[in-house]
Amino acid sequence: MLDLAILGLLSEHEFHGYEIRKRLRDELGLFANISFGSLYPALSRLELSGAVIGTESRPVAPTPAPAWAPIPLTGSLGGERAALRSRRAGAARSSTRGTKRSRKVYRITDTGRRMFEELLGGEEPVGTDEARSFGLRLAFARHLAPQARLGLLERRRDQLIRRLAADQARAAAGGDFDSYTRSLVEHTTETTQHDISWLDNLIESEKLKQAAPRTESRSTRTVGTGSAAAKGTEL
Amino acid sequence: MLDLAILGLLSEHEFHGYEIRKRLRDELGLFANISFGSLYPALSRLELSGAVIGTESRPVAPTPAPAWAPIPLTGSLGGERAALRSRRAGAARSSTRGTKRSRKVYRITDTGRRMFEELLGGEEPVGTDEARSFGLRLAFARHLAPQARLGLLERRRDQLIRRLAADQARAAAGGDFDSYTRSLVEHTTETTQHDISWLDNLIESEKLKQAAPRTESRSTRTVGTGSAAAKGTEL
DNA sequence: TGTTGATATATCGAACTGATATATCATGCT
DNA sequence: AGCATGATATATCAGTTCGATATATCAACA
């Protein structure tokens, strides 16, 4: 699971560990604060299997080191700000000193790209936090072939339909539930229904997009996620 | 987390391991198919700490064993049916043979009850699948004092408010999201809003229940979870 | 007869988590 | 000027949960 997330991020840019964590937390919201105890071993694992290459960014440079040298092209917003800050500090104090703590920047390899595609296109693992797994795959769905993308959406819909049946069976059979448990089961059922209708919208717009790539592509794209958003309760 | 679930179930009845799993799956829906690799070590842990007592239900009985002996009072629906089946089979074939495989029936102790109350009333752990943790506590909320119950609901609401802020920050900042990611973020935000309004209803009815224990208690109880259920989209 | 499926307990390795340790540097408070 | 706080950054630890697998009994069915 985490491998997919890491490879997905690295397939678009190179990052160091700490920033992968930030990206996952701030942008996707999945893996709310992924633990370092997961992240760093995962990076080591991926490096060992040749999927990524980590280059140590050494803070001490024996070379004369012009201003651009100690900045290892992080490309991230936070990273760039940090680099700029330290560049200012370094210029003001001692240009031989490093930028901050040494960091290890990871780049994806061709092997890693192949692994990413396999993980993304392969069968979803059942049971292991299905919602998170699907969310992650959806966030990288643009890398999938159109028909694989549709398959992803429909498999998730099937999953939710099964879940809804279980929810409703629970609600029907739980005659001796207290009011709190009953409310919980009802709410869970509603949430599953909400998820299903969201997926229905996604599937519908995906089919439209694939069936009619010409003839008003602008309108098709607007329907895309716009209809799902329009259904949002205003609170 | 799992300890709380096990102790909660055992505080109402005695069960053997396999059935605890079934209850958790079929009734609550949380812990969808809890793994045996979690369940049995947890039971051993709890037994070691004196929270529960497991009594081996031996299938081979050297005593003449009248019809009631090999049935270890499981009390559960499935367990009783199994016991009845085997009682029939045993009577028809050989009364000295056991019921099925030997099972270990667990009972909660006073220590276990105290531990259950501490776990249920104590501070929720942050980060560790908050939704599941809250769902579990809500399912046992009837064991809480009224004011502790209200605290549980309000802490969860605060949690969700923070989550909503993060969701909205993500939606606002993610200008370069593709349509799939954008739809995911929007849907997540909606779901969080739905959760919050559900909790608002729960909190409101809980306050009503506590403020006016007399004067039409029947009406108060009806408002209880009924209002939350009435808000459900019909689909 | 045999084979599938439910019941039941147990153990394994892999993955993820929170906590903690270490280190550098910027910022703001006193 | 000094000092605490917090962000950046990597690493390791024990504990928890998971999926997979092994073992065993028995009912139902073909």
Q: Encode pLDDT of A59-110 as tens digits.
A: 543 333 333 333 333 333 333 333 333 333 333 333 333 455 678 999 999 9
Q: Which amino acid is at B38?
A: S
**pLDDT over threshold 60, residue B113:** yes
Q: Å from B124 (CA) to D8 (C1')?
A: 29
And the tokens for A85?
Answer: 């800050």
Check residues 130 to 159 of chain A and report those whose beta carbon is under 7 Å from nucleic acid strand C: none
In the structure, what pLDDT confidence band is assigned to residue B173 with cuts at 50, 70 and 90?
Answer: confident
- Which nucleotide C1' is nearest B57 CA? C8
Contact indicator for B29, A167 with CB cutoff of 8 Å: yes
Q: Å from B53 (CA) to C10 (C1')?
A: 18
Residue % of chain B over a pLDDT of 90: 50
Contacts of B135-140 with C-beta under 8 Å, sequence gap 24+, read B135/A184, B135/A188, B135/B28, B135/B30, B136/B1, B136/B4, B136/B5, B136/B8, B136/B28, B136/B30, B137/B4, B138/A180, B138/A181, B138/A183, B138/A184, B139/A180, B139/A181, B139/A184, B139/B8, B139/B28, B139/B30, B140/B4, B140/B8
The answer to whether the CB atoms of A180 and B229 lie below 8 A apart is: no
Among chain B residues, CA nearest to A175: B27
The single-letter DSSP state of residue B142 is G
How high is the mean pLDDT of chain B?
76
**In angstroms, rounded to a whole number, what is the distance separating the alpha carbons of residues A199 and A133?**
15
Contact indicator for A152, A137 with CB cutoff of 8 Å: yes
The answer to whether the CB atoms of B190 and A194 lie below 8 A apart is: yes
**In angstroms, rounded to a whole number, what is the distance separating the alpha carbons of residues A105 and A56?**
6
| Residue of A141, A183, A228 lying closest to B225 (CB–CB) | A183
Phi, psi at residue B56, to the nearest 5°?
-65, 125
CA atoms within 13 A on the CB side of B46: 31
Q: What 3-state DSSP class applies to A66?
A: coil
Contact indicator for A22, A82 with CB cutoff of 8 Å: no
**In angstroms, rounded to a whole number, what is the distance separating the alpha carbons of residues A73 and A60?**
17
Contact indicator for B174, A27 with CB cutoff of 8 Å: yes
Instruction: Tell me the chain B residues in contact with residue A178 when contact means C-beta distances shorter than 8 Å.
Output: 142
The answer to whether the CB atoms of A142 and B178 lie below 8 A apart is: yes
A36 touches strand C (CB under 7 A): yes
Residue range B161-179: average pLDDT?
87
Phi, psi at residue B61, to the nearest 5°?
-115, 115
